[in-house]
Amino acid sequence: MITCEGLVKIYKSDELEVVALQGLNLHVREGEMMAIIGNSGSGKSTLLNILGGLDRPSAGSVGVGPWDLLKITDDQLVSYKRETVGFIWQNNARNLLPYLSALENVEMPMMLSAKFDRAYAKQLLEWVGLKERMHNKLHQLSGGEQQRVAIAISLSNRPKLLLADEPTGSVDTRTSDMIMDIFRRLNRELGITIVIVTHDLSLASKVDRVVAIRDGLTSTEFIKRNPNLDDNFEPGSAQETVHEEYAVVDRAGRLQIPKAYLTALQITDKASLEFDGERIIISPPKSLEG
Ligand SMILES: Nc1ncnc2c1ncn2[C@@H]1O[C@H](COP(=O)(O)OP(=O)(O)OP(=O)(O)O)[C@@H](O)[C@H]1O
């Protein structure tokens, strides 16, 4: 569904250049529900904005389904945004109209793309647990309920890919769990591919795979050993027993070693590699030992 190879994004302003993505590789299978985790400034939102067609990549390749987002024309980008992706932000005020009801908010994008379908709009609000409140105006709903309206809106054009930027960032744990459960249901029952950007590690237990981004590059992956274990999982408990951690190796054979390991072994600019037939052992340069 998503293929990024050597993806680069450079922001230029006056004399300043910021390299937000510096050759990032990422593959997401159709029907996957995964999270991208990274510190502030690591490039998560930049990546999501490129995948959502809100921002243009500078170089490399990025494909979503049949679309090549590097070569896509402006007109094609409009259909891409309408037909392929749904977007959810932490600050849902960006997607919502306060003076309309929840139902009218969901119907609005349908009208804009001439695919008005009231029955489906109602079904979406039912899916997100707002059946009883669909005729309430937005300002009569709580922050968590508004976020659920935003989820329904993001699905109004039946996207194949759902992108969520810190979707649980401003809600309490109970609402956050509810939102993640909604995502899981949409993923299982409608087969929607879901990519969630977050710095909240507790969400990791709720997805199949977590990709960590550091300095605009993918560094580590956590893959769920048994995807069926996610139901009734206690957030924050024994995440390591469910996920296996992998370092990402790119096409050129480069991998990122966690800083803590390098510091512990005092490896700075070079390391010694040994292959024993089964393992590759990385150690400080021999000449520096003892
Ligand atoms: N429009 C922009 N112009 C210039 N620099 C930008 C722009 N948007 C992002 N950046 C820079 O690109 C880098 C990556 O930013 P990005 O917002 O993708 O990080 P992030 O991982 O999403 O962080 P956060 O978790 O704080 O949202 C940062 O150094 C940021 O300052």
Closest CA to 9 of 36, 37, 49: 49
171-193: average pLDDT: 91
With H, G, I as helix, E, B as strand and everything else as coil, classify residue 143: helix
29 pLDDT above the threshold of 70? yes
* CA atoms of 118 and 110, how far apart (whole Å): 9
Q: Which two tokens stand for residue 283?
A: 């150690």
pLDDT (0 to 100) of residue 83: 86
pTM of the predicted model as reported, rounded to 2 decimal places: 0.84
pLDDT (0 to 100) of residue 131: 94
More confident residue, 83 or 47: 47
The 217-224 sheet, strands edge to edge = 85-88, 161-165, 193-198, 33-37, 209-214, 217-224, 243-247
Its ipTM equals 0.94
Q: Mean pLDDT in the chain? A: 86
pLDDT digits (tens, 9 = 90+) for 228-266: 544 454 544 444 446 777 888 877 788 888 888 899 999
Say how many Å lie between the CA of residue 47 and the centre of ligand 1. Answer: 10
Say how many Å lie between the CA of residue 19 and the centre of ligand 1. Answer: 9
* CA atoms of 83 and 70, how far apart (whole Å): 18
Ligand 1: residues within 6 Å at CB?
11, 13, 18, 20, 38, 40-46, 199
Q: How distant, in Å, are the alpha carbons of 57, 99, 177, 213 from that of 93?
A: 26, 12, 21, 27
Contact between 43 and 238 under an 8 Å Cβ cutoff? The reply is: no
Ligand 1 atom with minimal separation from the 12 CA: 4
Which has the minimum average pLDDT: 177-181, 236-240, 263-267, 286-290? 236-240
58 pLDDT above the threshold of 90? yes
* CA atoms of 234 and 46, how far apart (whole Å): 31
Say how many Å lie between the CA of residue 44 and the centre of ligand 1. Answer: 8
Ligand 1 site-directed mutation target among 9, 18, 203, most atoms within 8 Å of CB:
18
Residue nearest to atom 16 of ligand 1 (CA): 43
225 pLDDT above the threshold of 80? no
More confident residue, 59 or 217: 59
pLDDT digits (tens, 9 = 90+) for 113-128: 778 899 999 999 999 9
User: For residue 245, what is the enclosing H or E element?
Assistant: strand 243-247
More confident residue, 221 or 141: 141
Which has the minimum average pLDDT: 60-69, 126-135, 190-199, 221-230? 221-230
With H, G, I as helix, E, B as strand and everything else as coil, classify residue 209: strand
Domains and CATH numbers, the chain: 1-84+161-166+198-256 (3.40.50.300), 257-290 (no CATH)
Say how many Å lie between the CA of residue 93 and the centre of ligand 1. Answer: 20
The residues that bridge with 17 in the sheet, in sequence order, are: 12
